[in-house]
Chains A and B, each alone.
Chain A
Amino acid sequence: MSAISPLCISRFTATSCLGAGLAATQAALESERSGLARCDFETVSLETQIGKVAGVDAVALPAQLRAFDCRNNRLAQLGLEQDGFVAAVEASAARWGRERVGVFIGTSTSGILETEIAFRARDSLGGALPAGFDYEHRQNSFSVSDYVRRRLELTGPAASLCTACSSSAKAFALAQRLIEANLIDAAVVGGVDSLCLTTLYGFHALQLMARTACRPFDRRRDGLSIGEAAAFALIERGPPSGRAVHEPDDDAIFLLGAGESSDAHHMSAPHPEGAGARMAMQRALDAAGMTPAGIDYINLHGTGTPSNDAAEASAVRSLFGADTPCSSTKAATGHTLGAAGALEAVICLLVLRHGVLPAGLNVSELDPQCPVNYLTSSRRSSPLTALSNSFGFGGVNCALLFGRGACA
């Protein structure tokens, strides 16, 4: 496949258990602070840690969008409020036209939490769900994309991406195709996934949940920690000159390529040698017209499950060798599932902006079976490119490649 034209990322933001917005996120990453804490979510009684976002319950949606009120859309709203994101989208809509800006948000569980809670009331209601239950605006997977497009008053194409833990990485790939095809000029892409009982008890049932905080790439890692996040990026057709749009606080950063593949192996276990992961990374490189030597940092999927990290290490080692610096930031943020692709894309953008490669936390002894250059302390550097990996149930893989300045 021929190289695609780089797309400008003119604004981005992230809200996770590390804090709301980029400043809090960057401060936590630089100080190697984790946002994971003992699980105290809703009525859940599981011995594990989670990455819960503070203040979600207090978020109020605009009056005309009350039908959308659920934890997932409150988290979306909290995320949108950070880093001047709404104003940047407004400027983009003014530049291109509202119908030329798309909205593509990844989510895995949308507002299922409200349905889970509603089911508890059935016994006292003769099997019915409580009055006011709203499937369309809360449970349905499109809910969050619909909320975001209405909140931002965008009228272009929209869809939710629902490929489990690679959902919001795929949002970047899809938007890039529609811009390339000239259906739109810009897109709000991102991921929003919030804590719910299905994922907490589901990963517990699969015996994939860590008892304490997750420890990606540690020899004694025992599973993942679930988190929640809202992360967004505004991507736009690059200026004709090829030089950056000079936003006040943005050095020019670009989406250089995306690579996608499927494992065709198992619904919930990765291919043991990471064949699909490798193919996705290779295709991202091909799309950008780059070689492995051109990559300065890899943000790993790195869930902390024994099988994921071993398979991913195998894929990274076979494609990049043993030197390319890499880390998983999930010990800091938790695995934010459908939001992970966008959250970790934003972390890559912060890496490019600030030049600090984040540490993989909670490692007491690196797994010798994972022979990659895994960073256990943060490192100041001057990266020009960063790759982000996302893999999901169903064996669905996506790698995103970002770059800054002259590399584009």
Chain B
Amino acid sequence: MTSLAAAIEGIGVLGPGLDSWLSTAAVLTGTRDYESVRTVLPAPSALPAAERRRAGRVVKLALAVGAEAVGQSGRPAQSLPSVFASSGGDGDNCHEICSALTAPERSISPTRFHNSVHNAAAGYWSIANGCTEASVTLCAYDGSFAAGLLEALSQVAQSRGPVLLVAYDSDYPAPLQLHRRIPDAFGLSLLLAPLDSPRALATVRAGLSAQPPSRLQHPALEALRLAIPAARGLPLLEQLARGGAAAIALEYLDTARLAVEIGA
């Protein structure tokens, strides 16, 4: 198996009942009880006032979770290329546009329209951080996290520099909610760098595989993993929380999963 490797310099998490990497790690190792409450999204204070007013839930989610991983690494956000991975983008915005298009005048607000692009969160991130480095936004339905991780690792291999991975998804309002049953917002970010990083919290090595995806031991978090595409990355976080070496598989495609080895 050809594999790609990187050091992890930072981790960010935000989801139902999970407000940071530290609190998530405590739940994953069983040192803290899990209580599922609706995800609390902080105001995107890094954005200029005009953009802050226009930012929807997924933008707040992606900016918060990205900032947590970058903060741990100590690297300046403006110097970081980024990979954003999301199955659905901004569901509220999609609902509003599709609703507006049923009215006779079909009047869409310009802000709604530019927020409709799948890469809106990445665009706001670049503005918030004054970051002119490359940014890509990917979608692979429920496998979006794995697609993003693979791309981020290939960027580290090519550039021999750091890259920020931000995976995020949020719920659609009804009626789309009935057809895409994502219950809440969840985001997961990793700051990846070359293996020789002096700031490595752990290392990760990944390649394609046919193994079935790993499950989480924690029943409520296993349900969360299956409910929100970005949470398909949680088995990686479970091993990072435990520390030490481990091998897992992450959901990607029906024909290809991502085999991941974690090293201390």
A→B interface (CB under 8 Å): 1, 4, 99, 108, 112, 115-116, 119-120, 122-123, 127-129, 133-136, 140-142, 145-146, 149, 155-164, 170, 173-174, 177-178, 180-183, 197-198, 201-203, 205-206, 260-268, 275-276, 279, 392-396
Is B217 interfacial (CB 8 A cutoff)? no
Which A residues are CB-close (under 8 A) to B175?
A: 122, 127-129
A264 near B136 (CB under 8 angstroms)? no
Closest chain-B Cβ to A181's Cβ sits at a distance in Å of: 5
Excluding A157-B253, A180-B157, 19 further A-B contacts by CB distance (< 8 Å) are A108-B117, A116-B98, A122-B175, A140-B88, A140-B180, A145-B140, A155-B256, A156-B255, A159-B139, A159-B151, A178-B151, A181-B4, A183-B154, A197-B106, A264-B132, A267-B51, A275-B132, A279-B132, A392-B119
A198 near B137 (CB under 8 angstroms)? no
- A119-B101, A158-B253, A394-B117 are known contacts. Are A142 and B87 too (CB-CB below 8 A)? yes
Which A residues are CB-close (under 8 A) to B153?
A: 181
Interface residues on chain B, size class: 35 or more
Closest chain-B Cβ to A345's Cβ sits at a distance in Å of: 16
Is B176 interfacial (CB 8 A cutoff)? yes
24 A–B contacts, CB within 8 A, in A order: A99-B256, A112-B98, A128-B178, A141-B89, A155-B255, A158-B140, A160-B140, A162-B118, A163-B136, A181-B154, A182-B2, A198-B98, A203-B113, A261-B134, A262-B123, A262-B131, A264-B126, A266-B127, A276-B132, A393-B120, A394-B119, A394-B135, A395-B126, A396-B135
Closest chain-A Cβ to B172's Cβ sits at a distance in Å of: 9
- A119-B102, A174-B151, A181-B4 are known contacts. Are A267 and B120 too (CB-CB below 8 A)? yes
Give Cα A220–Cα B97 distance, bound, in whole angstroms. 31
Closest chain-A Cβ to B72's Cβ sits at a distance in Å of: 22
Give Cα A203–Cα B28 distance, bound, in whole angstroms. 46
Give Cα A129–Cα B108 distance, bound, in whole angstroms. 21
Which A residues are CB-close (under 8 A) to B134?
A: 260-262
The prevalent SS among residues of B at the interface is mixed
Interface centre among B51, B107, B112, B117, by most A CB within 10 Å?
A: B117
Which B residues are CB-close (under 8 A) to A177?
A: 151, 154-155, 157-158
Give the A-B pair count, Cβ closer than 8 A: 222
Interface flags for B125-165 (1: CB within 8 Å of A; 0: not) read 01101111111111111001001001101110111000000
The prevalent SS among residues of A at the interface is mixed
| Selected contact of B2 from candidates A141, A159, A181, A279, CB within 8 Å | A181
B141 near A136 (CB under 8 angstroms)? yes
Interface flags for B84-109 (1: CB within 8 Å of A; 0: not) read 00011100001001110110001111
B→A interface (CB under 8 Å): 2, 4, 51, 54, 78, 87-89, 94, 97-99, 101-102, 106-110, 112-120, 122-124, 126-127, 129-141, 144, 147, 150-151, 153-155, 157-159, 174-176, 178-180, 207-208, 252-253, 255-256
B102 near A262 (CB under 8 angstroms)? no
Closest chain-A Cβ to B254's Cβ sits at a distance in Å of: 9
Closest chain-B Cβ to A391's Cβ sits at a distance in Å of: 12
Closest A residue to B97 by CB, please name it: A198
Give Cα A197–Cα B102 distance, bound, in whole angstroms. 10
A141 near B116 (CB under 8 angstroms)? no
| Selected contact of B158 from candidates A99, A149, A181, CB within 8 Å | A181
- A174-B151, A180-B158 are known contacts. Are A135 and B176 too (CB-CB below 8 A)? yes
- A180-B158, A182-B2 are known contacts. Are A160 and B138 too (CB-CB below 8 A)? yes
